Amino acid sequence: MSTRGTYRFRQRYLPDVTIYIHHSNYPKGAAGWLYLMLEHPSKGGAATQFIRAVPEAEITTSHEDHGDADYCYDIEGAGAGAMVTAYKWDRDGENRKKVCFFAGTLAAFADEYLSDEEGYSRFRLVRLQYSERWFNAKTAADYLNEQFGPLHHLKVWREHGSMGPGAANWDGQVTCLKAVVEEFPELMTEEIGEFLQ
């Protein structure tokens, strides 16, 4: 039997978007869908990222328009720090009502329902030079090595001799590099160590 569910995404400056998935929407399944979105970020708001990460997802009208749904989830914001309110539909004859069973960050939701899964990597808030970002081991490694991530900048600047220690941009990228590897020491490499000396 399928466990149907809906996900309503609310983000500032964007209209609400509700998404329907036909199966696996019990709490652990929903945490898995949302975790996929976090591990595979893309352009666009959270709803767009969710649709790109979860092929089973399809846009729908609202939670209430799916009388056969067992669960519904409200996600407000973006990333692992987004707030999730999770409900189970309680049926009493012809009537049904939403009963809240979880309210907290998406990171906490994933921790609660996926922490015992093989390959699960907890999201943590990392303070970078001028901002904070949520990472797990995979997304932290992606960030360090992405096209315009800290390692890219430092390698290019070192190769061309255009910037070095003491320059504000250089020191800013080193600060970001250091913050990530302090939180995820398993990402430390010899090359990163050279930049942190």
pLDDT tens for residues 30-87? Answer: 999 999 999 998 888 999 999 999 999 999 999 999 888 999 999 999 999 999 999 9
The DSSP code for 131 is -
Sequence ranges of the domains in the chain: 5-114, 124-196
Higher pLDDT, 41 or 27: 27
37-45 LR contacts (CB < 8 Å, sep 24+): 38/79, 38/80, 38/106, 38/110, 38/123, 38/134, 38/136, 38/139, 39/136, 39/138, 39/139, 41/79, 41/139, 45/9, 45/11, 45/14, 45/17, 45/78
DSSP string, 28-62: HHHHHHHHHHHHS--SS-HHHHHHHH-TT-EEES-
Q: Which residues contact 163 (CB under 8 A, 6 or more apart)?
A: 157, 169, 170
Contact 187, 141 (CB under 8 A): yes
Residue 2's pLDDT is what? 87
Confidence class for position 93, pLDDT limits 50, 70, 90? confident
Residue 49's pLDDT is what? 95
Residue 166's pLDDT is what? 86
Residue 14's pLDDT is what? 85
Residue 159's pLDDT is what? 86
